[in-house]
Structures are given as C-alpha cells and as structure tokens.
Amino acid sequence: MEKTETEFLQRIIASPADEKCPIRKSLDLFSSKWRTWVLFELCKQPTYRFGELRKAIPPITNTMLTKTLRELEAIGIIQRKQFNEMPLRVEYSLTESGHALTPVFFEIAKWADQYLPTEN
C-alpha cells in the first residue's frame, strides 16, 4: 500500500514537464464537463441510445451531445453502432479503453466520500 503511494508519486514527479506528458494529455482529454458526464453515464449501462443519453443528462443539448459523442468516438473510448431500421436506432457504448477508465471514476468516488465539501 505504502509502496504503491510512493510509486505513483515517483511517476508523477518523473513525468516530462513539456506538452508531451501522457498524464497531462489524458487530463486534457477529460477536462470537460460534458465528456466526463457522458462517460460517467456510459459506465452505468452497457448501451445507450441517443435519446436515452439526452434524458440521462438533462441539461445537455442536441448540439453538445452530438459534439461530445463524436469527440469521444475519435479518441476511441466509445463506439457508435447504427442499425438501419425504421425508425433509426443508434447505440453508444464504451470500448475497451473506455471501460479502462472506470478505476478513475472509482478513485473520484472514494475521494468524494471523504472530502467533498457538503455545503450545498
């Protein structure tokens, strides 16, 4: 346990200071309200239709949901599957690398339990 703590600190300290730092590049990828929210929802359920995501994320608009889904798809962490039925059906789900992000959410959850300010 203590060893792990030390290890990751070493890892962070040793990370390159320039824009090539993989940790910082990853942080940038997910430093967006809509991206994290969409990913968080996609963790809950194997597949979502476009309309389901809109309902799950009430404040999001068509435009932003589409934009966010395209971005996450381009990064390769979600996949879009279109069924040419009538009416049209599209299903979104996490890819393997998307699933691999769940431990990040778990650590956030643990932190929230202990430290999240509860004033609101």
Partner DNA sequence: CAGTATCCCGTCCGATACTG
Partner DNA sequence: CAGTATCGGACGGGATACTG
One of 58, 59, 103, 117 touching DNA (CB under 7 A): 59
Beta bridge partners of 90: 82
Residues 97-116 that bind a second copy (CB under 8 A): 97, 100-116
Region near a second copy per CB under 8 A, out of 46-54, 60-68, 69-77, 81-89: 69-77
Decide if residue 5 touches a second copy (CB under 8 A): yes
Give dist(CA 86, CA 90) in Å, integer.
11
User: Cβ neighbours of residue 89 under 8 Å, at least 6 residues apart?
Assistant: 49, 82, 83
Decide if residue 72 touches DNA (CB under 7 A): no
Decide if residue 51 touches a second copy (CB under 8 A): no
Decide if residue 10 touches DNA (CB under 7 A): no
Give dist(CA 39, CA 117) in Å, integer.
23
